[in-house]
Chains A and B, each alone.
Chain A
Amino acid sequence: MPELPELNPVIHGKLRLALLSLLVGVDEAEFTWLRQKTGSTDGNLGAQLLKLEEAGYVAVDKKFVQRKPQSLYRMTEAGRTALSEYIQALKKLLGGAIGD
């Protein structure tokens, strides 16, 4: 019997998975844009982004634009690879049920 893959726990969290899926399609995104797209609170979003940052899946660039702080998040190569592996593992786990 083939061994079933394990799902990466850092990515498996719903909000973290949503964030990586959003970031995979864009060059970089502001904190406010990610908040708007996910409908999350500032605190929760900040905490989940920090976890992704600590895992090396996203990188942040903090700067001031017109005296206002701006945090720009982008996906790293490690993040891209991890998300791709996560999707492969999901597909494997679901097997034939994926098209249902």
Chain B
Amino acid sequence: MAANAEELELKDRIRLIESMIAEGRRTTESYGWTFVFWGVAYYIAIVWTAIYHWPWAWLVTMAGAWVLCWAIIVSKKKNKPERRPGTTIGRGIFAIWISMGISLSLLLPALGFSDRFNQHIFVAIVAAMLGVANGASGMMIRWKAQVAAAIVWWAASVAACFGSDDQCTAVFLVAIFFCQIVFGVYAMLWEARVRKQQEALHA
């Protein structure tokens, strides 16, 4: 009987270790909104380019979106009562997205200035880069929904190499809708559910 109680207590310790390690690694930061935010920014740039045919529309929209996104993240962090500790996975994901952003910010204007830019190349590059970032992040945190978003981006990247300009635009618009807007809203709902669960746990 005593041996059984001791065994139960030891098992309880194992469960405690597992749950606390998972708790420490769990992300409580909300980044689902950034997908929706960037999806809307892409749509603004596409519409701006289509209506006014201004060659700088993408550059200006993306630069503005960078500044606004950074300002929102900084203000959100300032309003938080406690800072979430950094993890290796968190740093890895941040590094992937920042590197992707820098790559696109350098490569796309360079293609434009060298006059080697066209719509198909643009969509193929952007979609492939977003596929890499989503795929790597999704695999790191084992989130199937984000890996699915990566697969859609990769498919869009390949599809952009074929067909007419209009078909290429349609592929891009559809991929943005599913991978930025729909996935972003899904991520926000998922984050809200996790937050509720955590609040209930600590109530």
Q: Using a CB–CB distance below 8 Å, which chain A residues touch chain B?
A: 12, 14, 17-18, 21-30, 32-33, 36-37, 39, 87, 90-91, 93-94, 97-98, 100
Contact = CB atoms under 8 A, between A and B. Distances in A.
Contacts of A27: 85-88
B202 A25 contact: no
Dominant SS at the A interface? helix
A21 B85 contact: no
Interface residues of B, number: 22
A33 B81 CA distance: 9
Nearest to A65: B83
A32 B81 contact: yes
Contacts of B7: 94, 97
A23 B21 CA distance: 8
B13 A37 contact: no
Contacts of B20: 17-18, 21-22, 37
A12 B17 CA distance: 11
B27 to A, nearest CB: 11
Contact of B17 (A17, A36, A93, A100): A17
17 contacts: A14-B16, A17-B17, A21-B16, A21-B18, A21-B20, A24-B21, A25-B25, A26-B87, A27-B88, A28-B85, A30-B83, A30-B85, A32-B81, A36-B82, A94-B10, A97-B11, A98-B14
A22 B87 contact: no
A21 B14 contact: no
B189 to A, nearest CB: 23
Interface string B2-29: 0000010011011011101101110000
Contacts, number: 70
Given A14-B16, A30-B82, A33-B82, A23 B24 contact: yes
B48 to A, nearest CB: 40
A37 B26 CA distance: 11
A6 to B, nearest CB: 13
Given A17-B16, A17-B17, A97-B7, A36 B24 contact: no
Closest 10 CB pairs of A and B: A21-B20, A25-B24, A26-B85, A29-B85, A32-B82, A22-B24, A25-B25, A27-B86, A21-B17, A18-B20
